[in-house]
């Protein structure tokens, strides 16, 4: 294979970002081609690279980047079917986001810098996927962090955007500190930062601290991939532009943590304790985020909590020792979650509100955005996991992996011993996955019915968000071509990608070679749980709106389903409040104390030290009267005093 192709994949978006930042202010007309073309070409090159590499083969190339006196840092490529598949997903979603953004942000004066940062974000994720060296991978990892800070805070005029961007940066950095130590310890144990060397050392049992390394790495993964307890930044990140949300949730930022664990899974398989911690973390994340999604009124926050839950599925598959199930769900989820966020952008653009309850009072919303209506339906069906959509096959592969692990038959393949996966991890993931399947179906059905199918009732309050005139607007304005066609492009893999794991050996051979067909037991249980969730949500929706009037609006079905849990779930079960009490307030109090000590104590001494010479100088100046008789009198008095002291002392 020509090495120029994979090298150009991350380089082209980075060059496009540099060109966009350099020319955006002076030549704004170049911003759109510089945003779309480099990313689109990289997507094509990623696909060509994947096709040339084929299945069951790898490509390794490296050159020493810097001597360190210890493990060397190399500019290395490590390509296999696993990285090829994810790179194609990244290229597809990033291209769709850039094309979509040309219409979504066409009147935004800061579009050039936005587009350049999206390109840099994409380049950083490509670097993470293609890198064969952990330190170079860390560079892409951190570049994504700073890009997310700027993109989430794109509308920095609003306090929500500023707060959300700062929160995302700080929470992910909180996980990155132990993550960095984990990478250093892993490199020291393996004697190299090259991924191939690390995996070889892990396979031969050469790592001296596998549990400590795995737990340190999991801290960074929890931050980047929004797993409990570092998940709180992701719902707040919805303050950023909707296309950025699609990119973060589908193909970059949050996928990076799952990718890293999948890439280094042989290291984690050396520690049953780490796998059990990962399983518990995934289970809590799945169930908790699904309950929170059922209580949200903001459309984007529903999808954000949904992402957290689906990432929990991927982490659960990894805890069960099945890398290919995790990657299968990562790619399938990337397609339908990008679709859902971009359709949400169209709906919000048309309804002028993020509120699902407000959308329910808009007559004819689904007729105004027919493409978004149907493609969102496709995305939600895939999210629920109904056949024959991609989400069904990928979710069932996760449940099948958990079932095998629960029975001590983990499908670790050539990655490590199946016995390393504790049965408790499998049972934990399986039980949480089935509960989450039911809850996911419930909140997806609630979203669909309330937003598009509620009978609009004009409220008595004239100030309420009710817009009957929305029907008269131009549909072409609500769904510009650049936004509409990207939805259908993403709808294709959402509908068809799962069949690759069912009807063809290409996808399994591209990953680890194990079959991806779902087991009938988990398929029945998972689909049955989803069907129950749909029926329960539909019944709650019917009950909530049966007697709705202008004076008595419909009740939120989520409130009926959750009961006393609705309030806590709406506020994320108080995790943010807990962090505020445990960390924010003590830190603020410590800062006030330091400020007091600095100003009232340290500054007092500093000012006193500066003022003392002045006081001494003024005292000496008072003694200098210019009277010679006074000087002689003082001299004589001093001489007499000295004589008396000498006499007394003797």
Q: Cβ distance 117 to 79 under 8 Å?
A: no
Residue 263 has pLDDT above 50, yes or no: yes
Q: Distance (Å, rounded) from C-alpha 648 to C-alpha 650?
A: 6
Bond prior to 510 in cis (omega within 30° of 0): no
pLDDT in tens, 131-142: 999 999 999 999
Q: Which string of b and e fits 458-470 if b means at least 16 CB within 10 Å?
A: eeeeeeeebbeeb
Q: Is the pLDDT of residue 299 over 90?
A: yes
Displacement of CA 17 from its chain's centroid (Å): 21
Q: What is the pTM of this model?
A: 0.89
- d(CA 423, CA 165) in angstroms, rounded, equals 39
CA distance 546 to 455: 10
* Residue among 174, 201, 173, 175 nearest 187 (CA): 201
Helix residue ranges per DSSP H, 131-269: 134-152, 159-190, 195-203, 210-224, 233-236, 242-250, 253-263, 265-268
Mean pLDDT of the 307-325 span: 93
**C-alpha closest to that of 320 among 404, 416, 260:** 404
Question: What does the block give as tokens for 540?
Answer: 């709650």
pLDDT of residue 221: 93
The pLDDT assigned to 149 comes to 93
pLDDT in the model for residue 472? 43
The fraction of the chain above a pLDDT of 70, given in percent, is 92
Note the Cα 196 to chain centre separation in Å.
Answer: 27
Coil, strand or helix at 316? helix
pLDDT of 499 above 60: yes
List, for residues 333-343, the tens digit of each pLDDT value.
999 999 999 99
Band of the pLDDT at 467, cuts 50, 70, 90?
A: very low
Selection from 113, 82, 138, 95 nearest residue 9 by Cα: 95
Whether the bond into 229 is cis, omega within 30 of 0 = yes
Are 300 and 341 within 8 A, CB to CB? Answer: yes
Helix (H) or strand (E) holding 59: strand 59-66
The predicted structure's pLDDT at residue 468 = 43
3-state secondary structure labels for all residues of 76-131? EEEECHHHHHHHHHHHHHHHHHHHHHHHHCCCCCCHHHHHHHHHHHHHHHHHHHHE
Instruction: Find the helix or strand (DSSP H, E) in which 33 lies.
Output: helix 31-53
Identify the sign of the CA torsion 558, 562, 566, 568.
negative
- Cα atoms in the 13 Å half-sphere on the side-chain side of 493: 24
| Helix (H), strand (E) at residue 65 | strand 59-66
pLDDT in the model for residue 547: 55
Give the pLDDT of residue 469: 45
Find out whether 156 and 135 touch, Cβ atoms under 8 Å. Answer: no
Q: What's the rounded Cα separation, in Å, for the pair 447 and 297?
A: 9
CA separation for the pair 135, 125 (Å, rounded): 14
- Name the strand (E) or helix (H) holding 485: helix 481-503
Residues 523 and 393 sit within 8 Å (Cβ to Cβ): no
Query: Which positions ≥6 away from 514 have C-beta within 8 Å?
Result: 322, 324, 411, 413, 508
Closest to 356 (Cα-Cα) out of 469, 451, 229, 224: 451
Q: Are 375 and 337 in contact (CB under 8 A)?
A: no
Query: Using alpha carbons only, what angle is made at residue 353 by residues 352 and 354, rounded to the nearest 5 degrees?
Result: 140
- What is the predicted pLDDT for the residue at 107? 84
**How big is the chain, counted in residues?**
650
Q: Work out the mean pLDDT of the chain and round it to a whole number.
A: 87
Q: 207-257 pLDDT, tens per residue?
A: 999 999 999 999 999 999 989 999 999 999 998 899 999 999 888 889 999
466 and 353 Cβ atoms separated by less than 8 Å: no
C-beta of residue 122 within 8 angstroms of C-beta of residue 94: yes
Lowest-confidence segment of 62-76, 125-139, 565-579 by average pLDDT: 62-76
> Taking residues 136-163, what's their average pLDDT?
92
Q: Identify the band that residue 470 occupies on the pLDDT scale cut at 50, 70 and 90.
A: very low
Question: When comparing pLDDT for 33 and 413, which is higher?
Answer: 33
DSSP lists the bridge partners of residue 60 as 78
d(Cα 145, Cα 90) in Å, to the nearest integer? 16
């Amino acid at each position: 294979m020509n090495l120029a192709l994979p090298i150009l994949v991350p380089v082209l978006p980075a060059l496009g970002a540099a060109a966009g930042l350099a020319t955006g202010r002076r030549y704004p007309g170049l911003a759109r081609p510089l945003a779309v073309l480099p990313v689109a070409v990289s997507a094509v090159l990623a696909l060509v690279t994947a096709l040339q590499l084929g299945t069951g083969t790898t490509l390794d190339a490296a050159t020493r980047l810097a001597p360190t006196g210890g493990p060397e840092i190399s500019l290395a490529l490590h390509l296999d079917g696993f990285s090829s598949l994810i790179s194609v997903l990244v290229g597809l979603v990033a291209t769709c986001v850039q094309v979509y953004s040309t219409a979504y942000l066409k009147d935004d004066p800061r579009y050039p810098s936005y587009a350049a940062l999206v390109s840099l974000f994409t380049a950083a994720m490509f670097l993470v996927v293609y890198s064969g060296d952990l330190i170079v991978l860390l560079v892409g990892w951190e570049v994504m962090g700073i890009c997310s800070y700027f993109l989430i805070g794109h509308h920095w005029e609003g306090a929500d955007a500023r707060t959300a961007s700062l929160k995302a940066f700080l929470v992910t950095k909180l996980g990155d500190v132990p993550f960095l130590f984990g990478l250093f310890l892993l490199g020291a144990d393996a004697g190299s930062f090259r991924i191939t060397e690390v995996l070889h050392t892990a396979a031969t049992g050469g790592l001296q601290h596998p549990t400590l390394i795995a737990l340190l790495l999991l801290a960074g993964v929890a931050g980047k991939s929004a797993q409990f307890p570092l998940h709180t930044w992701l719902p707040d990140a919805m303050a950023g532009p909707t296309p950025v949300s699609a990119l973060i949730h589908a193909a970059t930022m949050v996928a990076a943590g799952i990718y890293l664990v999948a890439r280094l899974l042989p290291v984690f398989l050396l520690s049953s304790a780490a796998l059990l911690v990962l399983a518990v973390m995934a289970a809590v994340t799945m169930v908790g985020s699904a309950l929170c999604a059922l209580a949200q009124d903001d459309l984007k926050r529903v999808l954000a909590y949904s992402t957290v839950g689906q990432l929990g599925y991927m982490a659960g598959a990894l805890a069960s020792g099945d890398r290919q199930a995790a990657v299968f769900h990562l790619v399938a989820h990337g397609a339908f979650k990008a679709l859902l966020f971009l359709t949400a952008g169209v709906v919000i653009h048309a309804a002028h509100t993020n509120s699902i309850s407000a959308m329910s009072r808009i007559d004819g919303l689904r007729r105004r955005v027919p493409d978004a209506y149907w493609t969102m339906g496709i995305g939600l069906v895939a999210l629920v996991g109904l056949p024959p959509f991609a989400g069904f096959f990928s979710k069932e592969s996760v449940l099948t992996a958990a079932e095998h692990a629960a029975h001590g038959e983990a499908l670790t393949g050539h990655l490590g011993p199946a016995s390393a996966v504790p049965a408790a991890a499998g049972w934990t993931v399986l039980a949480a996955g089935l509960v989450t399947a039911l809850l996911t179906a419930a909140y997806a059905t609630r979203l669909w019915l309330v937003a598009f199918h509620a009978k609009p009732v004009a409220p008595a309050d004239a100030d309420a968000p009710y817009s009957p005139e929305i029907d008269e607007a131009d549909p072409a304005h609500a769904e510009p071509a650049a936004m509409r066609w990207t939805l259908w492009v993403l709808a294709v893999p959402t509908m068809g990608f799962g069949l690759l794991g069912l009807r063809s050996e290409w996808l399994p051979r591209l990953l680890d070679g194990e079959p991806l067909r779902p087991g009938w037991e988990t398929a029945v249980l998972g689909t049955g749980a989803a069907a129950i969730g749909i029926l329960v949500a539909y019944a709650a929706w019917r009950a909530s709106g049966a007697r709705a009037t202008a004076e008595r609006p419909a009740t939120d079905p989520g409130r009926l389903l959750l009961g006393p849990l609705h309030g806590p779930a709406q506020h994320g079960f108080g995790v943010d409040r807990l962090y505020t009490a445990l960390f924010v307030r003590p830190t603020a109090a410590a800062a006030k104390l330091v400020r007091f000590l600095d100003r009232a104590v340290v500054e007092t001494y500093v000012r006193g030290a500066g003022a003392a010479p002045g006081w001494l100088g003024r005292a000496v100046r008072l003694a200098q009267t210019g009277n010679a008789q006074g000087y002689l009198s003082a001299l004589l008095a001093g001489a007499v005093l000295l004589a008396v002291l000498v006499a007394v002392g003797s």
